[in-house]
Amino acid sequence: MSNLSSPSKRLVSVYKSPRKDEMYIYVDKKQGVQDLPEALLAHFGKPVHVFDLLLTAEKSLARADAEEVLAKIEEQGFYLQMPPPAEDYMQEVVKAKESQPAVSRSNVQHDA
């Protein structure tokens, strides 16, 4: 049987904040959120479960470094992912729009 909870590999539960968009807490699935600090929960709100995943140091995450997430869970029992600054978010929106193919009027078919 493999060990699913080690410093380089861990079964993780991800929870979102009901108070702040794009704020997430990563915790060891076995521990859950019951042992999170009261001060953190007062700011975060009641955690809403999003999904579980087997997190490895090599895993690519959208806005967090997997090694850092694993280290923080090992050290303090959780990793808090803060929302991106508004200016970073707008840069991501612009990049996403730039990567989409342009639609010109000549490419759009109209029904007669």
Domains of the chain: 5-99 (3.10.510.20)
pLDDT tens, position by position, 19-76: 999 999 999 999 999 999 999 999 999 999 999 999 999 999 989 999 999 999 999 9
Local structure of 1: helix, strand or coil: coil
Measure the CA–CA gap between 27 and 72, rounded to whole angstroms. Answer: 9
pLDDT at 84: 85
User: For residues 51 and 14, is the Cβ–Cβ distance under 8 A?
Assistant: yes
For the cut 60, the answer to whether the pLDDT of residue 3 exceeds it is no
For the cut 70, the answer to whether the pLDDT of residue 80 exceeds it is yes
Structure confidence at residue 1 as a pLDDT band (50, 70, 90): very low
pTM of the full predicted structure? 0.71
Measure the CA–CA gap between 72 and 65, rounded to whole angstroms. Answer: 11
